Amino acid sequence: MLLMSSVVLLTACDMLDIQPTGKVIPQTLAEYRALIATAYKNVPDARGLACFRSDELYVKDDSWEQDRYGKIECWDDFSAPGQTTSFEWKNFYSIMFTANYTIEERNSINEGSEEDIDQLIGECYLLRAYMHFLLVNLYGQPYTRPGALETKAVPLKLNSDINEILKKNTVAQIYEAVLSDINEAEKLINKESWEQKFSYRFTTLSVKALRARVYLYMGQWENAYKAAEAVLTGKNSLEDFNDEAFMLPNHYQSVENITALERGMSSNYTQAAVLSEALASSYGEGDLRLDAYFKPTDKNGYRFSQKSGKDDFRCSFRVGEMYLNSAEAAAQSDKLPQARIRLLELMEKRYTPEAYAAKATAVNAMNKEALIQEILNERARELAFEGHRWFDLRRTTRPRIEKVLKGGTYVLEQDDQRYTIQIPREAIAANPELSN
């Protein structure tokens, strides 16, 4: 398997224009860099697919889309899958194999400076951390759910042994490994930024951004606040929606983009996903995001996303999320003034001046409970269709969701077991240990 490793080299013409040029056994830094490019390229769009389970969208009433996403939309995880799109499994572990092998071969990499080799190995640690983090948040119990830490989730993969029979590790073990890898990445990653065509690669800010998100999901509010503020110390520019020249903030060229790796929603998802009435109605008067983020209603009453479906919209971490992470963590830590500041700084760039003035008055009068709820509501509006909503529902209250679809009523109860997705059948068939 290793001897036949495919190496994919980047062309210089476009950020995401990646072309295969042959097969080699990697030896030089350039060859290992190309190998990691394949891993970056294969990061799944799993966060976007998971959002079909959320309340921010519904599936277009079309047989093609219904066959692929209809069962996901109504949380039907136990009937025969048919043509239902499967959640990713194999690609996560393939990516980690590549990262692990590169880490293990660190001392054999030649024709590269020590600094550049450190950078590449650091990216491998962070990539491994992020893959484990996504896996545990798809297939493991939410970290903040009582009793979740000792429950079995997914297997840790920290080596390149392809003969190892993988067994599930606990939620606590996965998060411990994620944080350890983030710390290792921080020691090695030294690039503060890349030119735009390489903006999918991790940087020093990527390390801080992932740490902020991980701590937020763990409910470690003080750590989450410090990590988010560390990001904002290095980068805090926001797109101003009152400026006609603003760019959608999850565009890879946006001033907000920190790491342009994942597509929140692929083109297939975007064609199937329709803005829900619940989310549409949450954008109040003077909120400029509704028309910025979504196309006008078509003849069928559908509103589709304008911020996804193209490779230009690649974003794993961005500044707007960090403002919200900081605000939420500050509010949960009883730092209400700091929480209000960060929330209002974001709102000022997203509302008309008149609407912002009203929002500022309301936010400054809110108590802790109301402020936290407003921050969570703002997350739903700000990060819509970027692959966050399902994960946010899971990590917070796991609320009751009711959907009326094609004349039927479907309910996801409060803290329902279906807030954790089942490991794909094909993965269990290949490794029965995953059923335990």
Long-range contacts of 135-138 (CB under 8 A, 24+ apart): 135/92, 135/174, 136/171, 136/174, 136/175, 136/178, 137/217, 137/391, 137/394, 137/395, 138/46, 138/50, 138/87, 138/421
Residue with tokens 């429950």: 151
Band (pLDDT 50/70/90 cuts) for residue 10 is very low
Query: In the prediction, which pLDDT does 12 show?
Result: 32
Average pLDDT rounded to a whole number, residues 128-154: 98
* Segment 262-312, tens digit of pLDDT: 998 999 999 999 999 999 999 999 999 999 999 999 999 999 999 999 999
DSSP for 151-203? SB------S--TT------BHHHHHHHHHHHHHHHHHH---S---GGGTTS--
Distance CA 155, CA 328 (A): 30
Distance CA 93, CA 44 (A): 11
* Segment 395-414, tens digit of pLDDT: 999 999 999 998 899 999 99
Mean pLDDT of the chain: 94
Neighbours of 370 (CB within 10 A): 13
Contact 69, 85 (CB under 8 A): yes
Domains and CATH numbers, the chain: 236-263+280-396 (1.25.40.900)
Query: In the prediction, which pLDDT does 21 show?
Result: 44
Contact 210, 231 (CB under 8 A): no
Average pLDDT rounded to a whole number, residues 248-254: 98
Band (pLDDT 50/70/90 cuts) for residue 23 is low
Pick the more confident residue, 18 or 396: 396
Average pLDDT rounded to a whole number, residues 368-381: 98
Distance CA 205, CA 184 (A): 14
- Identify each DSSP E strand in 203-339 by its residue range: 257-259, 273-275, 317-318
Query: In the prediction, which pLDDT does 5 show?
Result: 43
Band (pLDDT 50/70/90 cuts) for residue 13 is very low
* Segment 192-207, tens digit of pLDDT: 999 999 999 999 999 9
Q: What does pTM read for this prediction?
A: 0.94
Query: In the prediction, which pLDDT does 406 show?
Result: 86
Query: In the prediction, which pLDDT does 24 show?
Result: 60
